[in-house]
Amino acid sequence: MHLNTSYYRNGTLEFDKLFTRQNVTEEVLERQADSKNEIARQKLMLSGKMPDIAIGPWCSDPYECDFMCHCWKDVPEDSVFDLAGKGVDTFKLYNQGVEKLKDIPLDLLKGNQLQQVETARSKKNVVNPKQLREFLDTLRYPLYFLDFETFMDAIPPYDGMKPFQHVPFQYSLHWQKKAGGTLYHTEYFAKPGVDPRKEIAERLLKDIPEGACVLAYWKSFEAGRIKELAELFPNKRKRLLSIVDNMVDLIDPFKARDLYSWKQKGSHSIKAVLPAFVKGMTYEDMEIGDGSAAMEAYHQMCDCADKPKELAKVRKNMLEYCKQDTLAMVRLLEVIEKMSAK
């Protein structure tokens, strides 16, 4: 384990290198006197009637309130709050009686928001075949579909890292030698608790041939991780950066709304796009269904290194989740190909 030597000594975290000590006893004593009054105030409030407060931006800003399932129970499906983007006061509309997305007056909207409401009304997809063909023209075969999973910690675990820097510990890679050809798959999963950066860089270079076209969904994330690896390993820098240079973003046609389904509810996230276009493919029933859950699962694996059964189960779920992400890209590309021929 290559711990960040700047913060550890003999495997033990040196807290004084991360935090400064400050005596706050006086401030605490000053405030202690107020605590009694505050507790009395809270008790009085709790013994009274439930406050009648309307829902508003405060329900989710800065954090989602735990009472939303109660206060928002009358908000219908496909409500005005599904409107993506900024510029329209959806709470004002709701309080004026406009509860459903499809009922938002069109003259209040423009651009993507107008398109979202129009398609919610018509239940029709937007397809721009010419632009989809132009996107397809940017791809070359063999074509690789790449997705990373990462973790990040407040305390940088390894040398040369910043707090909350993403560390890639897993990837899934599908590839095809020609359009519509056999689909191949490989994957990498680091040993939990071990610095994965060198091994993952080496495996990437082994698995992705030089000059190959690589698709990622929201490529800045994958490209960012590869650039960090390139900085860390100067002898691999050129080859790693060439992967970045040959990356194409599969989100582009969806972001440009050259392909848009009303079911996406204005989102371009792969979690929204996939079920909108690929029947039967969803993340909903997966044990691990998003990047945060994968991050949590990785930490869980680090903690249960001596429990092989538990370890194997989490590992299997993690591999399934990451594989689903690249398979989703393969299926979405097939949808783009089909729609481009319309």
Compute the least distance from the CB of residue 204 to ligand SF4, in Å: 45
Closest to ligand SF4 by CB, 67 vs 184, is 67
Where on the chain is the footprint of ligand SF4 (CB under 6 A)?
53, 55, 58-59, 65, 67-68, 71
Omega prior to 209 cis, within 30 of 0: no
Closest to ligand SF4 by CB, 92 vs 124, is 92
Pairing state between β 12-13 and 126-127: unpaired
Closest to ligand SF4 by CB, 58 vs 164, is 58
What angle (nearest 5°) sits at the alpha carbon of residue 334, between those of residues 207 and 222? 40
Compute the least distance from the CB of residue 59 to ligand SF4, in Å: 3
Compute the least distance from the CB of residue 71 to ligand SF4, in Å: 3
Which DSSP letter does residue 288 get?
S
Three-class SS of 186-238: EEEECCCCCCCHHHHHHHHHHHCCCCCEEEECCHHHHHHHHHHHHHHCHHHHH
Closest to ligand SF4 by CB, 68 vs 106, is 68
Residue 130 is encoded by which pair of tokens? 């010419």
249's torsion region: left (phi>0), alpha (psi -120 to 50) or beta?
Answer: beta
Compute the least distance from the CB of residue 91 to ligand SF4, in Å: 11
Closest to ligand SF4 by CB, 74 vs 137, is 74
Compute the least distance from the CB of residue 77 to ligand SF4, in Å: 18
What radius of gyration do the chain's Cα atoms show?
A: 25
